[in-house]
């Protein structure tokens, strides 16, 4: 709905060119190759919410690398901006590499940030769809691609503040690198949800009702830790699954009604919510972390506190 008629026409034209260029090609799964550019363009449009030129470039991101079309062909039909983005995400074919093919590819991706962050986002969308469809690849290719994703693409998404994509990439990578661990922890987390979700929502509604009494309106969201996150915690603490204390996070989310002095208003609102909650629920000593004044390296901002539940367990609450 946010694209004009002319932009939609250009996107349709990009799809038609990609469909023509890839018409004889198939993916390892056996499906037509064009399904991959369509999926990447959909991620760019819907999950990353970018505009027409990155979407067009996502449709065309493999055309120069895998077909006879050139960057100049792209430029003549879609202009300099799309040609630049497609050229930036196209792997360079060389007779020899300065370090290795993979390292040179990483360097090319990272160097693109000096020119345009959109190229990085298209590469992340490309990798995300490849990981979502990795089951069709040979086991050795799965291990290679999953390892690259954990080493390079998930940390890149994290540094860009794209938490949901980072979490998904990490977890998909873990699924292929450590399938037995992934299956065990996934099963345990399914049981944990079944046994605890109703109780977690009961506490969430108590927090919401408590805050409403102070004139503070929030909505709640439960975020379960991924199998990868649980596994990493098990490795660093030497604990088994049952002794990992925080398996979910409860987010209390409020709206900021003005962009003016937004950071100051966020802090003030978070402190009001924190004060109201700790007037009514016991706080774990030393549990407050203020990521509003001191954001994480990736730009993450929130106010964390751990509260005692009615069942005598600790609940980590993120006020955002």
d(CA 184, CA 291) in angstroms, rounded, equals 33
Active site residue 73: no
Active site residue 65: yes
304, β-bridge pairs: 289, 318
Phi, psi for 198 (deg, rounded to 5)? -60, -40
Both tokens assigned to 152: 């390079």
Cβ partners under 8 Å of residue 214, min gap 6: 272, 276
Residue in the block written with tokens 């969201």: 221
Marked catalytic residue, from 7, 66, 81, 104: 66
CA distances from 126 to 208, 238, 271 (A): 39, 35, 40
Q: How many CB atoms lie within 10 A of CB 87?
A: 18
Return the ∠ at Cα 269 (arms to 298 and 304), rounded to 5°: 50
Marked catalytic residue, from 16, 46, 65, 111: 65
Active site residues: 65-66
């Amino acid at each position: 709905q946010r694209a004009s008629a002319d932009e939609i026409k250009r996107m349709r034209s990009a799809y038609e060119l990609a469909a023509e260029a890839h018409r004889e090609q198939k993916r390892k799964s056996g499906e037509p190759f064009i399904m991959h550019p369509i999926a990447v363009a959909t991620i760019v449009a819907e999950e990353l919410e970018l505009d027409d030129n990155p979407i067009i470039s996502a449709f065309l991101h493999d055309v120069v690398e895998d077909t006879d079309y050139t960057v100049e062909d792209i430029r003549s039909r879609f202009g300099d901006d799309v040609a630049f983005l497609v050229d930036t995400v196209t792997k360079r074919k060389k007779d020899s590499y300065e370090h290795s093919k993979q390292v040179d590819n990483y360097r090319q991706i990272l160097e693109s940030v000096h020119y345009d962050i959109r190229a990085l986002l298209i590469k992340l969308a490309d990798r995300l769809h490849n990981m979502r469809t990795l089951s069709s690849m040979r086991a050795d290719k799965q291990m290679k691609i999953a390892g690259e994703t954990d080493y390079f693409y998930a940390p890149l998404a994290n540094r860009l503040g794209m938490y949901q994509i980072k979490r998904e990439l990490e977890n998909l990578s873990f699924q292929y690198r450590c399938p037995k661990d992934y299956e065990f922890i996934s099963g345990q987390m399914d049981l944990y949800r079944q046994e605890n979700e109703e109780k977690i929502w009961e506490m969430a509604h108590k927090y919401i009702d408590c805050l409403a009494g102070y004139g503070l309106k929030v909505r709640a969201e439960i975020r379960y830790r991924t199998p990868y996150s649980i596994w990493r915690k098990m490795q660093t603490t030497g604990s088994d699954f049952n002794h990992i204390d925080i398996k979910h996070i409860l987010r209390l989310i409020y709206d900021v009604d003005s962009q003016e002095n937004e950071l100051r208003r966020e802090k003030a609102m978070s402190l009001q919510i924190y004060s109201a909650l700790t007037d009514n629920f016991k706080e774990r000593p030393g549990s407050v972390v203020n990521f509003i004044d001191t954001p994480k390296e990736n730009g993450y901002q929130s106010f964390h506190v751990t509260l005692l539940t009615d069942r005598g367990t600790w609940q980590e609450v993120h006020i955002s």
